[in-house]
Structures are given as C-alpha cells and as structure tokens.
Chain A
Amino acid sequence: MTGLTPESLALLLAATLNAGTVVALASLGLLINERAGVLNLGAEGMMLVAAIAGFATGVNTGSDWLGFAAGAAAGALMAGAFGALVIWLNTNQYATGLALSLFGAGLSAFVGISYTQQRLPERPHFAIPGLADLPFVGPALFRQHPLVYITIALAIGLGWFLMRSRGGLVLRAVGESPESAHALGYAVRPIRLLAVMTGGALCGVAGAYISLAYTPLWVEGMVAGKGWIALALTTFATWRPGRVLLGAYLFGGVTMLQFQLQGQGVQIPSQFLTMLPYVATIVVLVLISRNPTWIRINMPASLGKPFHPGA
C-alpha cells in the first residue's frame, strides 16, 4: 500500500478504537442481558432512540455528559418495556425484540425530524496529559474520547464481575438454570429485568456515542446495523467480555479500512467497501459457528427460553 505513513497508521488505529467502542459498548450490554438468559433483538431500535435522545439533549443543553445520560435513560426505558413483556408476560423473545427494533426505528425518525442534519459544535479533543504527546502512540492511543477508556475498563470490570463475584454468579445462575436459582430463593424475574435494563442503558450510551461523538449529527437510521453487529459479536465472543473488546476493535478496523482504501483511491466502487463490515460479520459468524460445541461451552443454557416460576 502506498501512502501509509506512521502518521496515517496512527490515525487509522485511533479511528479503529473509536469505531470499535460503539460496538463494544452495545455488545457488553447485550452480554449482560444474555448471561441472564434474555435475548434482546431490539438493540438496533434502542440505539436509534438513544442516539436521538442523546443528540437532542446534547444540542439543547450543550453538555455531552447529559446527552449520554439521556441516551442511557432512553435505552433503559425501552429495555424495561421489553423486559416487562418478555419476563412477566412471557411473550416470545424473538418477536418482542424485533418489535422493539421496528418501533425504535419509527420512533427515532419521528422524534428526530426537527433535528435532521443539525450539527453539534466542534469540541476540543480530549487528550491524556503527558502520554498524548508521545510520538506515534500518543495520537494513536491517547487522544480519544473518555468513553473509549471507560469501555475498556468496563470490559475488564465486567469480566471480573461475572467470573469472580457473588453477584456475577447469581446472574449466571439465572441465565443457566432459572429453576435452580428460583429454588435457592433468588428473585429470578427482577434480576432478569435489572440485567435487561442495564444492557439497555449500555446500548443507549453506545447509541448516544454515535450521534454525539462518532458522527456528531442526527440522520434517520444512522445506527446502520451496528446494533445487529453488536448482537453477532456477543456470539462471536462466546459471551466473554475480553473477546467482545477484541472483536469490536477488529470490526472497527474493518470499518476504518474501508475509508482508508477509499482515501487511497483504490479502484473498488465505494459500495463494495461499505459492504465490507457486513460481509466480514457474516464471514466471522460462519467461521465461529462451524464448530457448534465451541459456542455452546459458554452459551447461557436458558438463553431465549421463558421462565415460569412454579407454585
């Protein structure tokens, strides 16, 4: 490849981290969900509603952090509605999740109509003092949105929580065998709802990150399948937070490679480059699913199954 200087490589790495963060956040949220045994296909819809909620709040208050809070609240609220339906009314998780996605797409377009094509003012770039001025690694790793680092910390923390803490054990028990957890006296349904709403809040932050930081504007349908890719990622990662992070940056890399190739004038029509992340998702999904036992090792045993507490 011509024109690949250390500077452009540093920028590519930085952009990869940036793009990967969106998917990582949402995927970590969905992982909490799924570890509790609930499959929420509504990620795309929650992220869209959170993207407009975050953007509108950001524009009207001038505060990104309030925007993120609004995104999280919107995501948690939508997840709460979903959770109430699937956990208490035992509606089909696939169908309810799909309804949430379709509803979210409509609602976000509806609410966002007056914000279309508005832009947020340019904000100073965040940089870690000292480290950001290092050659190469500085621009590549240490001039990022704070959420990029928070996401990494979150993945590590979640890994510890799931495998090393009592709370994580209860969460996993609820997803593996809700009957046993119920028999031991754990409130399966409230725990599941809490997990679903936490997952929704994280998807919400991811959605708000898209409209506040990633591409700071609002366009209808701007999540563009990232919610679905995040869902695929939880499976690729076999429900392990560390692998989610890895997969997300891989995805971010593919997304950014597309722009890099376009910038270098590679003779491929742009549409084929835009396809790349989606095709890559299919390819990785196929590679990973080839061996079903590998996925099943970590798959929560009761994923997607309704729970009816006995008398």
Chain B
Amino acid sequence: MFKLEPRPAPSKALMLASPLIALAITVVVGVMLFAALGKDPLAGLQMFFVEPLKTGYALAELSLKATPLILIALGLAVCFRANLWNIGAEGQFVLGAICAGGVAMHATPETGRWIIGAVLLAGVLGGMLWAAIVALLRDRFHANEILVSLMLVYVAEMLLSYLVYGPWKDPAGYNFPQTITFLEATRVPKLITGFRMNIGMFIALAAVAGFAIFLYRTYAGFQLQVGGLAPAAARYAGFSSRRALWTALLLSGGMAGLAGALDVAGPQGQLTPYVPLGYGFAAIIVAFVGRLNPIGIVFSAVLMSMFYIGGELAQSRLGLPKALTGVFQGLLLFALLACDTFIHQRLRWVSTK
C-alpha cells in the first residue's frame, strides 16, 4: 500500500511548484465545469486568464481589486503565523469602511486635502477596534477567536445596514439605503485619469515591504512566529503570548480596516449595504496561497483578482453565474492544501507483509 513519509528536508523546488500545480488542478477542474455547463472551455479560460490582462483598463481594475486583498492578507498572514485564526476580516473591513465613511461625511467644501489622512486613519482604527474585541475576549475570557471574529462579521453587517437605512441615510437619496456621496476632498487620489486605480496600490506595496521587515527582520516578529510554531518553546524563552495575541489581531484588524477605508473613499465613494464584498474571506485564501509570505501574497492577490474579474466577465459575456469566482477560489485552496502535503511528505509504496 501507499504510505506518506516525512521528507528529511522539504524541497525548495516543490515549494515553488506546488502553488502552480494547484493552479493547474483548478484550471483542469474549471475546464470540466465549463464543459459540463455546455460552454466553450477555451472561451471560459480566456475570461479568467487573458481578458483581465489584455487592456490598460483591465490592468487598472486588477490592481484596484488586488489592493484590498493584499492589505487584508498581510495582516491575516501575521495572525495565522502566530496560530491565531482571525477569520472575521470581513467584519473588520466593514467597520473600517463605516468609520472612514463617518469621517468623510463631515467634510465641507472648505475642508482641506488633509482629511483623506483622517479618513484612512479612522478606517484603521475602526478595524482595530473590531479586532480588539476579539483579542480582549480571547485574552480575558479564553473565548475562541474563530467564532467570536466570525460572529462579529454579522454584527458589523447589521450595524452598517442600520446606519445606511437609518441615521446616515441621504435625505436627497430617493429613499435608497445609502449615505451622501462623499466630497472630492475625501477621495483617495487616482493615479491616471480615466482609470479607477488609485494610490491605494502604493500603500499596499509599502505595506508588503513593511510586513516583510516585521516578519523576517524584527525581534517582535520572530517572537510572534515562535509562539505560533512552538508555544512551549516560546514560553520557555519568556516570549509573551498575550503580546503576540494583541499585536497580531490589532495588526490584522487595522489592515482590514484600512482596506475598507480605501474602498469607500476610493471606488465606492459612499456607504451602501453592498460594502461587504467578500474581500475579507477571499483574503484568507490569498494568505494561504501566498504561503503567508508578503511577496507570495502579492502574486496570489493578483491571481485572485483575476478570478474576480473573470467571474464578472463570465457573467456578462457567457451568461454564467458570478458565483463561479467563489467556486474557483475554494478549489484553488483545496488543491493547494493537498499539494502542500507532498512538500513535507513523500508517497512511497510499502509492501504489506
């Protein structure tokens, strides 16, 4: 029978190859799915892997979608490395959006350009606040962070719904559940006229560098990772698990909040019930597919954005449901987790006696 045996040392080549193999598996399953639906698989693949890269406009959209995914996944990677399962980034994103929107609504035509800084900061603080609840309940009462962070997603969504249907509703909005459109001064500066891409992309890239330094070059980052990998060793070394808990959760909450702020002060420009876009959940996949590595996260975020844009195109041009995006994202993560097994283990034929 076949047996999985631990490898003495994981192969570098396999570590690079496994996300590609996982992608290949996802593509093969995707082709079968298209065929089963009676659509031309080649046309389907083109929607997902060619169209999003073809024009300048498509590339700009790709960066716009990749930005929140990179930001959120960076924070989540820190959490997962510390063995903390924050899966409520979606709620932290929504709260960041709410707080940023709250500040943006106060702008008047006289308000200076400085307000964009306040808007983004409010978003970061909002996301941190939501994550701090998780940290506090875990720290003080040992409450499971998976369940608390997830429950808070639903609470955040209801809070948003209350605000846009209630006190923050635009009086001149024909009774639509939405806030006023935010003034130009509060909007994230765009990079090129005619494209929706904005400076959020540079913020995300700066964050990638920042997180790489934090994880691989600082003592705090090192302590945090040891705590995740070997809690007993971390305790023996005197590393504080409480500090790691708070650091990881506040960092990831802040990043998700920042992503939420960039979204409302960027492409959305107002708060609506449609602020939660699933970025917080997709970012979990981004973090894993990127191997919890800042540079890897950039690549996987771009890939995941291609799935988003491909899903939208498949809907408008091939008449396929948009939910196809979610199917592909899930498949990719399954395939990757399975492939990763073979990095640390090898399959061997063992004769049964």
Contact = CB atoms under 8 A, between A and B. Distances in A.
Nearest to B337: A91
Interface in B185-224: none
Given A271-B158, A289-B143, A106 B151 contact: no
**Size band of the B side of the interface?**
35 or more
B119 to A, nearest CB: 24
Nearest to A279: B155
Contact of A107 (B4, B151, B162, B330): B330
B333 A285 contact: no
Contacts of B166: 269, 271
A264 interface: no
A90 B330 contact: no
Contacts of B151: 225, 228-229, 232, 278-279, 281-282
A110 B330 contact: no
Chain B interface helix/strand/loop/mixed: helix
B268 interface: no
B338 A89 contact: yes
A271 B162 contact: yes
A255 interface: no
Contacts of B345: 90
B1 to A, nearest CB: 11
Interface in A93-109: 94-96, 98-100, 102-109
Contact of A289 (B141, B154, B162, B337): B141
B327 A285 contact: no
B326 A269 contact: no
B184 interface: no
A165 interface: no
Given A95-B337, A96-B334, A290-B142, A89 B4 contact: yes
Contacts of B334: 81, 85, 96, 99-100, 103
B169 to A, nearest CB: 12
A96 B337 contact: yes
B14 interface: no
Contacts of A102: 281-282, 284-285, 326, 329-330, 333
Contacts of B103: none
A90 B333 contact: no
B146 interface: yes
A95 B154 CA distance: 21
A292 B288 contact: no
A100 B325 CA distance: 15
Given A99-B330, A107-B323, A224-B154, 7 more contacts: A90-B345, A91-B337, A102-B326, A110-B321, A272-B158, A282-B148, A285-B148
Top 5 A-B pairs, shortest CB-CB distance: A106-B326, A103-B330, A109-B323, A271-B162, A110-B323
10 contacts: A85-B338, A89-B341, A102-B281, A102-B285, A102-B333, A105-B326, A106-B329, A279-B155, A282-B137, A289-B142
